[in-house]
Amino acid sequence: MSDISDVPQQAWWRTAVIYEVYVRSFADGDGDGVGDLAGLRERLPHLRDLGVDAIWLTPFFRSPMVDGGYDVSDYRDVDPSLGSLADFDAMLAAAHALDLRVIIDVVPNHTSSQHAWFTQALQELPGGPARARYHFHPATTDGEPPNDWESVFGGPAWTRTADGEWYLHLFDPAQPDLNWDNPDVRVEFEGVLRFWLDRGVDGFRIDVAHGMVKAAGYPAAGLTGQIGLLGRRVLPYFDQDGVHEIHKAWRKILDSYPGQRMAVAEAWASTPQRLARYTAPDELHQAFNFEFLQADWGDPAAVRASIDSCLHAAGSVGAPATWVLSNHDVRRHVTRLGSLERANAAALLMLALPGSAYLYQGDELGLPEVLDLPADARQDPVWFRSGGTDPGRDGCRVPLPWESEAPAYGFSATGASWLPQPPAWAALARDRSSTVDLYRAALALRRRLTGPLRWHESPDGVLDFARDGFRCIVNLSPEPVALPDGAEVALASRPIDGSTVPADATVWIFARTARSS
């Protein structure tokens, strides 16, 4: 293992703010109602002006779109609904010209059931080499699945084929899991990484980075409700130790390219220490801190504990902490936290923390979750697998409102939208400037924040910390709290009236006040 001192301390990814683009919902360039690479290219100046360092694109590869592109049928081509390889190259060149780095999603846990490998596997007899690339298994003597493993999307994680074998899918049946013990799989994905690195991408977000290796012998989990334990305990199909050998091999590939290429893990682990293993100096560069995302905002002590545990665990391996409040898989934090005021306070807190931060498209617009999508419009397999009892993730994926009066609020020139946009989008687009300005100001000031976090003593319900350059006070109590004497407020999530911090507000104070307190 490399020594921590070998990790470049000034690498761009250590402090970057990265903006997630859910490509199908960001901007529609050809008017068919589905966001695409051409539409993204047209809107890149917004992201440059916002002040982010990089963008992360959700999958744009060829796909039947059963799971919004996370069911990939060809990892080396662009889905026609989203553009072409030429469109990707043009978008990448335009982003780089604006000093925006580009990270793309790679989906190594599973393919689409329409991937050439899987269609070949279904055509051959049990025990054939194509089936060895996936997890095929004979039925038990009573015809039942091989074990009790559960799908993240609900129901069993096994589907029976016409010849009586079962195949594993930790997500939808249209997403069969790959067998990472098979050398063909490892060689193929090393080639996929190099294909996109050669085109100039700056890194990868590794989907289900914790799930690629399954426990030998397919042991039973021994309990129901397994997915509710995701991130709370090691399961026989998640966070197995063998995944780390894969990530070490990928780190060598990334390090062989110039320009500080990087990778961030979507990894659910039972402890911060297990999560930190994914960011050891010879593995990946970042791992999302879902503990912070899930922290109870009504319990300031829990928020502080999540911050401290992440900073400690990441620091133990020399990695940056990696913060996130929303993404394409969770309810938007405006809705989750109960108000735009509280969401903006959380955003300023996150952006004041040491490390790297991820924004989800629409955070800077103050978008809430769309809760009332009609049943016939929903497309998430979670909705279908649950029989309509789980609304799934469509509500955070509704196409963005760019303009209040334009067709589809500026998302598409024709007024088409693959998910219906609510009437409230018009007001959000019209009133967006204040929230956008807040994010823009925070991202500009954030570049002046340096050094470690140092906590100050504070009243109940208040988080108060300093870094070299600024002090951050977060008031999570229901009552205003006093600012330090002589405080010079640099930025506030809500207007400051007099010398107090309102409830559900975060303020940044210039350094000279932090040092004098």
Is residue 205 left, alpha or beta, with left meaning phi > 0 and alpha meaning psi from -120 to 50?
Answer: beta
pLDDT bucket at 9, cuts 50 / 70 / 90: low
Mean pLDDT (the chain) is 94
CATH no. for residue 144?
Answer: 3.90.400.10
For range 252-262, the mean pLDDT = 97
pLDDT at 492: 96
- Same domain for 322 and 464, yes or no, is no
1 falls within a domain: no
Which DSSP helix (H) or strand (E) runs through 287?
strand 286-287
Check whether residue 205 and residue 292 sit in a common domain: yes
Mean pLDDT of 152-173: 96
Identify whether residues 434 and 461 lie together within a single domain.
no
HEC per residue, 397-463: CCCCCCCCCCHHHHCCCCCCCCCCCCCCHHHHHHCCHHHHHHHHHHHHHHCCCEEEEEECCCCCCEE
Look at the pTM and tell me if it is higher than 0.75: yes
Paired tokens of 27: 């901007």
Q: 245: which residues sit within 8 A by CB, 6+ positions away?
A: none
Q: What is the pLDDT of residues 463-481, one digit of tens each?
A: 999 999 899 999 999 999 9
**Percent residues over pLDDT 90 in the chain:** 89
How much is the average pLDDT of 200-226? 95
Q: Per-residue pLDDT for 96 more than 60?
A: yes
Single-letter residue type at 364: E
User: Do 352 and 433 fall within a single domain?
Assistant: yes
Buried residues in 367-390 as b, exposed as e (16+ CB within 10 A): bbbbeebeeeebbbbbbbbeeeee
H-only helix segments in 27-98: 37-50, 85-97
Please report which confidence band the pLDDT of residue 512 belongs to, taking 50, 70 and 90 as the band edges: low
Based on the fold, state whether residues 68 and 207 are members of the same structural domain: yes
CATH number for the domain including 512?
Answer: 2.60.40.1180
Residue 7: per-residue pLDDT: 46
Q: Is residue 403 part of a domain?
A: yes
pLDDT > 70 in the chain, percent: 97
Residue 486: the pLDDT is: 86
pLDDT value at 139 more than 60: yes
Residues 327, 192 within the same domain: yes
pLDDT at 430: 86
- Count of domains for the chain: 3
pLDDT value at position 6?
Answer: 44
Reported as a pLDDT band with limits 50, 70 and 90, residue 149 is very high
Q: Is residue 240 part of a domain?
A: yes
Clarify whether residues 253 and 332 are in a common domain.
Answer: yes
d(CA 308, CA 323): 12
More confident residue, 215 or 139: 215
The whole domain housing 46 covers 12-109+183-214+228-439
- Provide the CATH number for the domain around residue 332: 3.20.20.80
Biggest distance spanned by C-alpha atoms of the chain: 78
CB neighbourhood size of 330 (10 A): 17
User: Does the residue 270 lie in any domain?
Assistant: yes
Domain final residue pick, 439, 466, 496: 439
**Cα torsion through 17, 22, 25, 29, rounded to 10:** 80
* Mean pLDDT across 269-275: 92
445 is a domain residue: no
Per-residue confidence (pLDDT) for residue 2, from 0 to 100: 35
Catalytic residue numbers read 207, 266
Of the segments 134-143, 326-335, 493-502, which one has the largest average pLDDT value? Answer: 326-335
* Span of 144-148, 197-201, 247-251, 349-353 with lowest mean pLDDT: 144-148
